[in-house]
Amino acid sequence: MTERRSRPAHRNASRHPAVEAPDPRMLALKTLQELRGGEVTLDELLSKHGYGLPSLDRNYLRHLLGTTLRHMGEIDAVLAPRYQPPQDRVAARLTNIMRLGVAQLFFMDTSDYGAVDSTVNLTRDAGLHKYVKLVNAVLRSLQRDGFEWPEGVEDWQLNIPAWLRGSWKKAYGAEIAQGIAEASLGHAMLDLSIKDRSESEDWAEQVDGLVLPTGSVRLESGRRIRDLPGYKDGKWWVQDAAAAIPATLFSAYKDKTIYDLCAAPGGKTMQLAALGSSPIAVDKSEGRLKRVYENLERVELGAAVVTGDATDLAPDTPPADAVLLDAPCSATGTIRRHPDILLRQNDKLMRSLLPIQTKLLNQADKLLNVGGELIYCTCSLQPEEGEHQIKSFLADHPKYERKPITAEELGGWDEAINADGELRVLPVHMQEYGGMDGFFCARLVKKG
C-alpha cells in the first residue's frame, strides 16, 4: 500500500474526522506536469503544493522532485529500452510517474519493494488504471536487471541538456565545462549575509559555520533556518555567497542613494541598507516586493520600496549616486539550488531575455548621476547574459568605463576575476568550501 501520513484526529472523532494529508508522490507528479511549460518555478510550485503538509512530507516532496530533476537524463536513458510512451494524452503524465519510480528505485533511500509498490499505487490514484500492469512490469524488470547504461556516456552528459553542455564548452573549454556540469548537479551549501559584517566570525561560531573570504558565512545545507541563532533577532539573512558580492562593492557609498533594480526578494537591498546607504528597491512584482518588506522589517533596516517595471520608469524619476542591476536571466548558475532549470530553460528562452537586459542597462544609465557607479550582475553562466552585454553597452555608451573589481575587495580572493576586471564566478570555484553558484558581475563608472 502507498505510505500515507494523516493529521491527528480531533478528540471528537464523530464530529471531526481525521483529515488525510495529500500523498507527496501525487503532489510531485502534479509539480512535474506543471513545470513543463517553463513559466513557473519549482520553488513557486513547492510553495503551492507543499502548503499545509507535515514537515516530513514537505521535505520528502522536495527531495523526491530534486532527485528526479537532477537525474532525469539518466532516468530517461534507463527507461528507454523498456518503456515507450503511449500515443495518447496521458503520455506525459505516465512518463513522469515512471520517472518518479526510477528516482526512488535507484537514487533514493527507498526499498525496492516500496519504490515499485508506491509507484504502482500512484498510477492507480492518477486514474491510469489500464497502465498499472505496464508500470509494475517495467519497474520490476529494472529492479531485477539494474541499469542498462549507454556505452561511453557519463552521468553528467545525460543530465545536463546538450545546449548547456555545448555553450559551456565553447565559453570555458571542455575540461572546465565538465567540471561546471558535475558541480551543477551537486547540492548547494547554505550561505548567510551578516547584518553587521564585523560580527561575521562570531555568528559563524554560533551557527557552526565558517566565514568565506568574501565575507559570507557558510554552513551545511539542511538546517532549519528559523531555528538558527540570530534569525528571530534579524542578525542575518540567507543569501548565496556569489550573489552577496555585488552590494559589498558599494562600501564607499555610505549615506548615498542607490537604486536596486529588480530587487526582490531583497537580499541586496538589505546589504546596501546595512552598509549605511539609502537604497531604493524597485521591482514590478507586488507579491515579490511583499517579501522585501517582510525581510526589511525582520532585520530592522530601512529602504524605499517602489513597485514598477524597471525597464519603463517615469521620465521624471530622480537620478541617484549608484545603480545596482541584478538583471533577470536564465539563472543557469543556480542549477544546484534550482534543478528545475534543467527542465524549464533552453537556448531560445535564454536569448529572449537578452533584449530585456539591454533595456534595463539603458534605463540604469538614465538613473545614474555623472561620476556614479553602475554594477550589472546576473546569476547566469552564459556569456551572452554577462560579458557580451557589458561589451555591447560600453560600445554604445562611450561615457562609461570599467572600474575593475579587485582581490582586496573580495578578501584576497582573485580566482574569479577575469582579465577585464569583471567577476566570473563558476561552480568549480571555492571547491574547498563546497563550491559556488555561477555568477557574473561588472562595475562601470559614468564619466563626465
Least Cα distance to 238 among 258, 218, 213 occurs for 218
pLDDT at site 3: 30
pLDDT at 15 over 70: no
Domain boundaries, the chain: 24-145, 242-446
pLDDT at 137 over 70: yes
- Hey, which residues are catalytic here? 379
pLDDT band at 22; cut points 50, 70, 90: confident
The mean-pLDDT minimum among 14-28, 110-124, 374-388, 392-406 falls in 14-28
pLDDT at 220 over 90: yes
Higher pLDDT residue, 164 or 38? 164
d(CA 228, CA 221): 12
pLDDT at site 151: 77
The 3-state secondary structure of the chain reads CCCCCECCCCCCCCCCCCCECCCHHHHHHHHHHHHCCCCCCHHHHHHHHCCCCCHHHHHHHHHHHHHHHHCHHHHHHHHCCCCCCCCCCCHHHHHHHHHHHHHHHHHCCCCHHHHHHHHHHHHHHCCCHHHHHHHHHHHHHHHHHCCCCCCCCCHHHHHCCHHHHHHHHHHHCHHHHHHHHHHHCCCCCEEEEECCHHHHHHHHHHCCCEECCCCCEEECCCCCHHHCCCCCCCCEEECCCCCCHHHHCCCCCCCCEEEEECCCCCHHHHHHHHCCCEEEEEECCHHHHHHHHHHHHHHCCCCEEEECCCCCCCCCCCCEEEEEEECCCCCHHHCCCCCCHHHHCCHHHHHHHHHHHHHHHHHHHHHEEEEEEEEEEECCCCHHHCHHHHHHHHHHCCCEEECCCCHHHHCCCCCCECCCCCEEECCCCCHHHCCCCCEEEEEEEECC
pLDDT at 39 over 80: no
Residue 208: other Cβ atoms inside 10 A: 11
Q: For the structural domain made of 24-145, what CATH number should be given?
A: 1.10.940.10
Per-residue pLDDT of 60-69, as tens digits, reads 999 999 999 9
- Scan for cell 531604493, then name that residue: 280
Average pLDDT of span 343-361: 96
pLDDT band at 343; cut points 50, 70, 90: very high
pLDDT at 368 over 90: yes
pLDDT at site 315: 85
| Distance set, CA 402 to CA 375, 393, 426 (Å) | 10, 11, 21
Per-residue pLDDT of 155-186, as tens digits, reads 899 999 999 999 999 999 999 999 999 999 99
Two domains, one topology: 24-145 and 242-446: no
Count of positions (residues) in the chain: 448
pLDDT band at 379; cut points 50, 70, 90: very high
pLDDT at 4 over 70: no
pLDDT at site 20: 65
pLDDT at 11 over 50: no
pLDDT at site 132: 97
pLDDT at 13 over 70: no
Least Cα distance to 261 among 353, 331, 323, 318 occurs for 323
**Out of 3.40.50.150, 3.30.160.270, 3.40.50.10190, 2.40.50.140, which CATH number does the structure's domain 242-446 have?**
3.40.50.150
pLDDT at 258 over 90: yes
pLDDT at site 12: 39
pLDDT at 10 over 90: no
Average pLDDT of span 262-274: 95
Q: Are strands 190-194 and 217-219 parallel, antiparallel or unpaired?
A: antiparallel
d(CA 298, CA 236): 9
pLDDT at 18 over 70: no
pLDDT at site 17: 45
pLDDT at site 1: 27
The mean-pLDDT minimum among 5-9, 293-297, 376-380 falls in 5-9
Mean residue pLDDT of the chain comes to 92
Can you read off the three cell numbers belonging to residue 137? Answer: 512490469
Bridge partner residues of 374 (DSSP): 323, 444
